Structure 1
Amino acid sequence: MIRNTGMALALAMLLAGCATVTPEKNAPLRCAADNERVQTTLYFGLNRPAGAGITAQEWQQFVDGEVTPRFRNGLTVFDARGQWLGNDGKVAREPSKALMLIHGDDAQSEAGIEALRGIYKSRFAQESVMRVDQPVCVQF
């Protein structure tokens, strides 16, 4: 009996070494301090309230002249289709661009982002440029 118990205990210990540990479901993200960044995604509508939509050339000029000088480390642009419920109760849809920026949590980045939103709204007669921020862990 003791011999069987000893073998069972040895087998259990051997199998325990093969067990995998899975992270807890809502465990906090572990990120080295030098990898912590902010991901900001800005959503730009491409329709004007009146007249022709914003052209591909106008969009690229905005990126080249306003975005790139402020965020030289890089950016990503996605084509998108925006939809929202207007004040008149009707669903409004329009082609859009999503601009994703990965940046530090600093005053210069904040100023650059807010400048882009203001310039775009003014230049293209937009009511708003939606902004979404979230912390991210970045590695290259």
Structure 2
Amino acid sequence: MTIKTGVMAAALLMLAGCSMPSQHAAMETCKADNQMQQTTLYFGLNRPAGAQITTGEWQLFVDQDVTPRFRDGLTVFDARGQWLGNDGKVAREPSKALMLIHGKDAQSEKNIEALRGIYKSRFAQESVMRVDQPVCVQF
């Protein structure tokens, strides 16, 4: 084994013992008043049959369904979803991502699930992806 290979092997062994700080550890340093939940919902804009969901339809959903449930604020950004279909082909779809910062409570959970159900029903969607994570929030 050459010296260079030996040094590389030693460095890899040392790095293997290193780990990223866990999200749990980061939350332990967050003041209780600043601990919240971040939920990001991903909404596809293609209908299974028919025209794409329009900007106006999306905005109406935000105004009439999202805002009344999350009055403290929200963030919407454009996204492009991609996945491998059962047929082995890559599918792509324009999407909207809705980021909500909220308390971890039953009412927020109910509101989020209501939004997912309303969107799936209104726009004939199979799913609305949901990603949750604890966050430390300061203003």
TM-score (norm: length of structure 1): 0.81
Larger Cα Rg: Structure 1 or Structure 2? 1
* Bigger mean CA offset, 52-61 vs 26-35: 26-35
**Matching residue of 1:119:** 118
User: For residue 88 of structure 1, what is the amino acid of its counterpart?
Assistant: D
**Matching residue of 2:16:** none
Within 2, Cα distance between the matches of 1:96 and 1:117?
14
Within 1, Cα distance between the matches of 2:117 and 2:88?
26
Identity %: 82
Alignment of 1:10-49 (within 5 A): 26=21, 28-29=25-26, 30-49=29-48
Within 1, Cα distance between the matches of 2:90 and 2:35?
38
* Bigger mean CA offset, 111-120 vs 86-95: 86-95
Shift of 1:126: 0.3
Question: 2:67 aligns to what SS in structure 1?
Answer: helix
**Matching residue of 1:93:** 92
**Matching residue of 1:110:** 109
**Matching residue of 1:60:** 59
Instruction: List structure 1 segments (4+ residues) > 2 angstroms apart after TM superposition.
Output: none
TM-score (norm: length of structure 2): 0.81
Number of corresponding residues = 117
Shift of 1:25: 5.1
For structure 2, the 5+ residue unaligned runs are 1-18
Question: 2:40 aligns to what SS in structure 1?
Answer: strand
User: For residue 74 of structure 2, what is the amino acid of its counterpart?
Assistant: L
Shift of 1:26: 1.6
For structure 1, the 5+ residue unaligned runs are 1-23
Structure 2 residue 77 is matched with structure 1 residue 82? no
